[in-house]
Every structure is written in C-alpha cells, then in structure tokens.
C-alpha cells in the first residue's frame, strides 16, 4: 500500500497541523519523512505512537535555514508539504531579521530542494493573514483567493506575522511559475480541534484562555475558524487532486467572539467566561468556495469545540466540570 502512494515529506511534522497531517498521510498508506528540530525530543514522541509510524514514518533533524538538512529529508520523496513556519514567541525587536527573512528564506530553501529532487507537487501552508489585510478590497465583496494582504499596509501597521506569511506565499507561487515547479498554497484561518502534540499551540491556547482564565475584556471581532483535522484533509486534497492549482482559503465557520463565548457557555456553563466585549471594526467574510469545489467538507463548529475541550481536559489544561 505504501509503495502505491509513495513517499512524501512534511516539514514541521511535530507541530499542531503537521502532526494531524502526518497521522492522515500514514492512515492513507503514504510513507512519510517528517522534519523536526530534534527527533529525540520528548515533544515529538507522539509521532512515533501514530498508527503505522513504526514502519512508515522517518523523522529527520532539519532547520529551514539549513539547506542541506532539508535536502536530506526530501531525498526520495515525490511530494512535499511545507507546514513549518517561524512563529515568534513574544515581542519581535527586529521583525525583518527574526521573522520575515526566515519565513521567505526557509520557504525558498524547501522549494529549491524540491526542484533539485524533482518532486511532483509542493503544498505550502500559508495563512489567511496573507489574505485579510487589504484596505483597497471593496467593502461589500467577500474575500477570496484573488485578495492578498497589502505588504506596505502590513508594514505600516506593524502586522509582521501577516507580512511574513504574505511575502513567503507570494514568493512560493512566483518561484513555482519561474522554475516549473507545481506549487499549491493553502491558507488556513484560526485552527481549533483536538491536540496530538504535548505542547500547547497558540490557537489552542487562545481557546483555553477563554475557558480557563476568565479574560475580563475581549474584543468582539469576527473570527474565522477551521478544524485541524479538516485542515489536514484540505492539504491532502490540494496534493492529490490533479486539478488543484494556485491558492486555497481554508475556513469553515465565522463568528464574533461574544457569540463564541455564549456558545461555549451554553455547552460548558461552569467555566469563567469573559464578562465584557469591546466593539470591533466591521470585518469582511472569507470564502472557501474554491476549496469546497475541490471536494472539501468540514465538521460542525459544535463538534470541533466538543473535541477541543475534551482534548484540553484529557491533557489537564482545563478542569473537567
């Protein structure tokens, strides 16, 4: 079975999305090369426990800025999923050096290695942050794949993560065109759902804070949500479907924060929810119609929230009442 599907590489295999993607690929009969910073680190132990991992998963020590380490991991693969991305912890004194350059250089290193190995297709995980910040987009128009965050606007408003994702994704698609490499990008929004990894990722932490920490004031902004398992399915579709091309927005639900808190309160009444919500500016809705036309389906928000909370309870991150 594994021989039929072939061998693929997943960068950032130990992360939140990467772990679920590795699990899905193994379940579908792929052999997987996963890149992690340290294969021996306990935080990657969950990968070795996945079904079929013992025979079909090989972990490689790799760094996005170390080309030779990426080349070694991608060697022998027919497809690559570039999931890893530099995410800063805390303030970024020098965003150009610490965030933007590594995001671009890391992505280009992966793509150059893919060109050298001659892989069939590369799926690059971008973000809706590469779509959302465009002040010239018509107010009454739903944002689709034609909408790109404005780099200069990101810079002026100091939205450095948005800038890093926008620059890296645009460079990836440009590289693919210039070098005859089949590059498809997927732009997930706020990703929720159960965790496979032992370390808590940023989007899960956001939901945990609402459930556990009793945030006093929360901005009542419109958020777009997608389940981590549906995100993995979207990435696999983008890889397997011959007709997939360009970029794909990956979002399934949108809701204001006040409504999300109320929904959680109705399901789990014993937690300490935010008391006050500040007004937020009007925000435009995103469309994942292009991805759905490729055959993508998604879970209900209720199911995602139930499975998320169960996962946090099992990990001892929130109380079980």
3 state SS of 293: helix
Residue entry with tokens 């929130």: 318
DSSP secondary structure, 240-267, as one string:
H-TT--EEEEE--EEEEHHHHHHHHHHH
Cα dist. 269→184, 189, 261, 311 in Å? 42, 27, 10, 18
Q: Which residues contact 205 (CB under 8 A, 6 or more apart)?
A: none
Catalytic residue list = 165
Hey, what are 297's tokens? 């389906």
Asked if 187 and 249 count as a contact pair (C-beta separation under 8 A), the reply is yes
Cα separation of 246 and 80, whole Å?
A: 16
Q: Is 270 buried (19+), middle (13-18) or exposed (0-12) by CB count in 10 A?
A: exposed
206 phi and psi angles, rounded to 5 deg = -60, -45
């Amino acid at each position: 079975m594994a021989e039929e599907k072939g061998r693929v590489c997943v960068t950032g295999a130990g992360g939140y999305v990467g772990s679920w993607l590795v699990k899905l690929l193994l379940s579908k009969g792929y052999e997987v090369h996963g890149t992690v910073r340290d294969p021996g680190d306990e935080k990657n132990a969950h990968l070795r426990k996945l079904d079929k991992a013992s025979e079909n998963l090989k972990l490689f020590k790799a760094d996005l800025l170390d080309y030779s380490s990426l080349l070694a991991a991608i060697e022998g693969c027919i497809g690559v999923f570039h999931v890893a991305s530099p995410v800063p912890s805390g303030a970024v004194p020098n965003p150009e050096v610490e965030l933007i350059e590594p995001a671009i250089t890391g992505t280009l290193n992966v793509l150059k290695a893919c060109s050298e190995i001659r892989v069939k297709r590369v799926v690059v995980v971008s973000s809706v942050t590469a779509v959302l910040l465009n002040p010239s987009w018509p107010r009454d128009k739903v944002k689709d794949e034609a909408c790109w965050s404005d780099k200069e606007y990101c810079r002026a408003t100091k939205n450095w993560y948005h800038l890093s994702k926008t620059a890296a994704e645009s460079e990836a698609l440009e590289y693919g065109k210039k070098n005859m490499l089949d590059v498809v990008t997927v732009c997930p929004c706020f990703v929720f759902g159960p965790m496979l990894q032992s370390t808590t990722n940023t989007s899960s932490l956001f939901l945990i804070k609402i459930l556990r920490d009793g945030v006093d004031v929360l901005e009542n902004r419109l958020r777009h949500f997608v389940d981590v398992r549906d995100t993995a399915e979207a990435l696999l579709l983008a890889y397997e479907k011959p007709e997939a091309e360009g970029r794909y927005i990956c979002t399934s639900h949108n809701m204001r924060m006040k409504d999300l808190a109320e929904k959680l309160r109705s399901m789990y009444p014993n937690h300490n929810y935010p008391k006050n919500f500040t007004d937020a500016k009007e925000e435009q809705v995103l469309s994942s119609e292009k991805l759905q036309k490729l055959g993508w389906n998604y879970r209900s928000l209720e199911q995602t929230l139930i499975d998320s909370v169960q996962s946090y309870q099992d990990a001892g991150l929130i109380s079980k009442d």
